[in-house]
Amino acid sequence: MSAGGTANGGPPRPEVSDALSRAELDVERARERVASSMLALREEVARQVDWRRYVRQQPVLFLGGAVALGFLLGFRR
């Protein structure tokens, strides 16, 4: 007996066919939500690790750090 079919191999019953259609739609919606969530997560991670944004927000701090690092490396030689 096939899934949703009758014992003699006839067409699936309407209620089984409707349930299958609803399940397929639910799976497709879930797949779209997962894809959307993954895209949003990827964008948020990229935004959080963007070092250029931090340099633009705190240029004096990074300039001071670069100068201090330059002095430390220069005096080690």
Residue type, position 3, single letter: A
Tell whether 8 is covered by a domain.
no
Q: Give the range of the structural domain holding residue 57, as residue numbers without chain letter.
A: 14-76
User: Does position 44 have pLDDT exceeding 80, yes or no?
Assistant: yes
- Inside any domain, residue 71: yes
In a domain, 1, yes or no: no
User: pTM of the entire structure?
Assistant: 0.53
> Do the domain assignments include residue 59?
yes
Rounded to whole angstroms, how far apart are CA atoms 63 and 38? 35
Say if 4 falls within a structural domain.
Answer: no
List the Cα angle 15/17/19 in 5-degree steps. Answer: 70
Q: Is it the case that residue 6 has pLDDT exceeding 60?
A: no
Which two structure tokens, joined as six digits, stand for 8?
């003699």
Write down the pLDDT at residue 12. Answer: 64
Residue 24 lies in a domain: yes
What percent of the chain is modeled with pLDDT above 70?
Answer: 84
Asked if the structure places residue 5 within a domain, the reply is no
Domains contained in the chain, number: 1
Residue 48 resides in a domain: yes
